[in-house]
Amino acid sequence: MTDPQPAKTIEEVADFYRILFERVKAKPQNEVRDDLPLCCDGDVVRLLPATSLAIQSIVPRSSHMHQQLHEAVHELRCSFPELCRATFWQPAGTYHLNVVILDRLRRGERDLERHKQIVSRFKPELDWLESQRAYTVDFRGIIIAPDGTVMAKGLHRCSTPWGIRRRFQDTGLCDQQPGLHVTLGRILHALRPERWKALLHDVETRFAEVDFDQHTVSAPILVSERRGFLHSPECYTVLRRFILGD
């Protein structure tokens, strides 16, 4: 989900989520992506070699928001046992908000030297990021994308996240996300149409407007991954840490 013209107003972001979910409800069942660095051995999910370079803000495991999200995932899994198999759920402590993408996640072995070259090329923008103010994103509701990605919806309080992405877009990094979401999980198998519809109905009626609290982006990290989704610290290298202003 990318867009060279990221939304700047709360209304535009809310419309993005609304339109996306309307598209989802029109689908007879979820799409199954074959390009993710994930595979299933029966019902067991394995992570494949992958590479990405991005600035991420991790939701603290001790936060109320993390607890709320984790409980929502537990409720979904209890209500839909099929989501306990062949589904990748973000492990506790790994929920994160994407700040800026420098090299989008894809399958393949990581080239750490290439990532360091990208970092060197965009050093002026990375230095500029240090001068930006911290920003807060409110998370309200869950949405499911057509490919079965389960996400918490974020709405910004100020224009800072879009200004940051715009600065990097203007230097050629156009592959940025149009929303401010936290991915909770990815369904990797096709649900039966009646179960897909039941899942969407459950999400819409029980979770569409749940207040999951807020997350302040104040200390994001520049991460070079060799396995995707920040699923464990052993699978990525932190190339730089940022402290945003008050």
Residue 182 confidence class, pLDDT cut points 50, 70, 90: very high
What average pLDDT does the segment 3-21 reach? 79
pLDDT digits (tens, 9 = 90+) for 221-230: 999 999 999 9
Percentage of the chain lying above the pLDDT 70 cut: 97
6 pLDDT more than 60: no
Which residue spans within the chain are E strands per DSSP? Answer: 38-41, 44-47, 49-58, 87-89, 96-107, 135-144, 149-156, 180-187, 211-217, 221-227, 236-241
- What is the C-alpha to C-alpha distance for residues 221 and 240, in angstroms, rounded to an integer? 6
- What is the C-alpha to C-alpha distance for residues 223 and 245, in angstroms, rounded to an integer? 20
2 pLDDT more than 90: no
Tokens of 155: 């709405």
- What is the C-alpha to C-alpha distance for residues 173 and 165, in angstroms, rounded to an integer? 9
Tokens of 27: 């689908």
pLDDT of residue 9: 87
Q: Is the pTM of this model over 0.75?
A: yes
1 pLDDT more than 60: no
What average pLDDT does the segment 47-68 reach? 97
Helix axes 64-79, 193-202, angle to 10 degrees: 150
Tokens of 28: 């007879």
Residue 187 confidence class, pLDDT cut points 50, 70, 90: very high
Q: Report which residue type is found at 175.
A: D
Q: Report which residue type is found at 228.
A: G
Determine contact, residues 236/225, Cβ cutoff 8 Å. yes
Average pLDDT over the chain, rounded to an integer: 93
pLDDT digits (tens, 9 = 90+) for 123-181: 999 999 999 999 999 999 999 999 999 999 999 999 999 999 999 999 999 899 989 99
pLDDT of residue 226: 94
pLDDT of residue 246: 85
pLDDT of residue 211: 97
pLDDT of residue 91: 95
Close Cβ partners of 74 (under 8 Å, ≥ 6 residues apart): none
